[in-house]
Amino acid sequence: MQSENLKVAIVGGGLAGFTAACRILQAKPQTEITIFEKSAQAGGRASTKVKEGFHLNQGAHALYRAGSAMAFLKEIGLTPAGAAPNTFDGTAIYGDEFFTLPLSPGDMIKTKLFSTVEKVELSGFLLGLNKFDQAALASTNVSDWLDKVSKNAKVKELLQAILRLCTYSNNPEKLSAGAAVGQLIMSQGGVLYLDGGWQSIVDGLWGKVQDLAAQPPTLRPNTAVTGLQSNESSDNGRSNVTVITGGAQVAEETFDAVILAVPPAQVAQLLPEAIAADVRQALDKCVPGRVAGLDICLKKAPAPKTVYGLGVDEPLYYSMHSSAAKLTAEAEQALIHMAYYLPHGEVGNERHEARMLSVLDRLQPGWQDELVYKRYLPEMTADYGQPLASQSGVQGLASPILPLANVFAAGDFVGSNKFLADGAVTSALRAADLLLEQTKNLEKIVLQTV
Ligand SMILES: Cc1cc2nc3c(=O)[nH]c(=O)nc-3n(C[C@H](O)[C@H](O)[C@H](O)COP(=O)(O)OP(=O)(O)OC[C@H]3O[C@@H](n4cnc5c(N)ncnc54)[C@H](O)[C@@H]3O)c2cc1C
């Protein structure tokens, strides 16, 4: 006999997938949850790999203290352990010259990068952020907006660098200024680097899923879902989802509803071709924020106090994450994340790596002698869908409601006024709420996996 409990499939075992599972179980603990994850390790872009005792996130990750991911984690009793990076006395990289990075009032006074007049203009701008009408700026791109707020090229470069840092976007001609201002204001609440890396959040969420569930939840690693098929409801309006595992052995399983917590290209691929043309188009229009990342693990840092740097006229990032969070086996060891923010359409290559290495040579002279492990990831997607001016900012992002009954989307490309992990978590909560609302009128869905 079929169980009376709600059966939900979540495709994608990243932050969005686990968040959605938690929310559903908070409301309906009896729900039978199955999470399908194509990789062996859960966590997606929030996963952490351990190499020779160093905890490596997928590139530089910082949790916004005032963001919605942090708010949800706290709500469910998971308070991530970690610490804020020290950005005081950081390095502003300007061409081949290094200056004090003016991210605090004290460093603004100290830096020789700007004249007094420029410092007054910058301080006024940063202190007056709340005066900008975010809604009115939704359809203005960041470049046009910065041209309006300042006539000074160097001032605009620093503002652009700060916006790149908090949005992970190097697409100023496309990014919505309204959304970017909102993100900048939120980011003033500070960030945390997490002890043990972001896997600590993933593991915490999975633990929470298990605690909340009255029925044992299932996590299926190494299981890729390959297609969805919706059928007429056959029994009392209950939806039926059939999971098909492909390859040598095909298996099928039924569910009442599905959340697709996978990247936009995967969502497009999983939806039946006939019904999803317009959704596909919307998903195709997602403009990602991408970076080339360089991770450096050292026995000890030659310059242990050089912990933070930002390119001002070039899209560069440098931070010794181990100076704030516990990410190494030995206290003396150092883990540095560097990034080159890629403009839309540009592919990460050796040039970006060479440039980061040349900056590293100057910030940590002699680092090669201390090297334990080095990793270059030329193309990572930090955010799959950024709010664009051409689409009125967040208004234009993908909908969580898909054209297949009781199938919903979650992820950082799904419409919310949040970026990055905050977008993933916000959209997952929304998808879960929609699913809970709509589980009365369900149709049969076939889910195919390999
Ligand atoms: C370099 C980098 C830096 C970042 N820095 C920050 C930061 O500082 N602050 C911040 O807030 N956020 C940051 N982020 C963003 C943050 O990591 C993501 O927003 C968040 O992890 C996205 O979670 P998700 O679950 O939506 O997607 P993902 O993590 O991409 O999860 C999707 C999951 O679905 C699985 N999957 C895909 N297809 C299938 C299928 N067919 N069947 C089954 N499973 C499938 C994937 O394997 C993956 O595990 C950064 C990301 C990167 C890459």
**CATH for the stretch 48-197+289-383:** 3.90.660.10
| Alpha helix ranges (H) inside 86-150 | 105-110, 116-127, 142-149
Ligand 1 centroid distance, CA of 236 (Å)? 36
Q: In which residue are the tokens 């301080």 written?
A: 123
Phi, psi of 352 (to 5 degrees): -65, -40
DSSP state of 329: S
Nearest to 233 by CA among 441, 5, 446, 439: 441
Token reading at 47: 């996963």
Ranges in the chain, pLDDT < 70: 1-3, 231-251, 275-276, 393-397, 416, 440-450
78 CA to middle of ligand 1, Å? 19
Pick the residue whose CA is nearest to atom 11 on ligand 1. 421
Q: Indicate the pTM of the whole model.
A: 0.94
C-alpha 314 – ligand 1 centre gap (Å)? 26
> 42 C-alpha vs ligand 1 centroid, how far in Å?
10
39 CA: nearest ligand 1 atom:
47
DSSP character string of 362-398: HHSTTGGGGEEEEEEEEEEEEES-PPBGGGTBGGGSB
Fold of 7-46+201-286+391-449: FAD/NAD(P)-binding domain (3.50.50)
Ligand 1 proximity of 44 Cβ (cutoff 6 Å): yes
Gap between the Cα atoms of 430 and 427, Å rounded: 5
Residue nearest to atom 53 of ligand 1 (CA): 382
Indicate whether residue 46 lines ligand 1 (CB < 6 A).
yes
> Can you tell me which atom of ligand 1 is nearest the CA of 17?
25
Q: Is the CB of 261 under 6 A from ligand 1?
A: yes
Atom of ligand 1 nearest to the CA of 67: 11
Assigned token pair, 412 = 């950082």
| Residue ranges covered by each domain of the chain | 7-46+201-286+391-449, 48-197+289-383
Q: Is 263 in the pocket of ligand 1 (CB under 6 A)?
A: yes
pLDDT of amino acid 272:
77
Residues 6+ apart with CB under 8 A from 165: 187, 310, 317
| Beta carbons within 10 angstroms of residue 88's beta carbon | 14
The closest-lying atom of ligand 1 relative to the alpha carbon of residue 45 is: 29
Residue 110's identity, in one-letter code, is K
- What's the pLDDT score for residue 443? 46
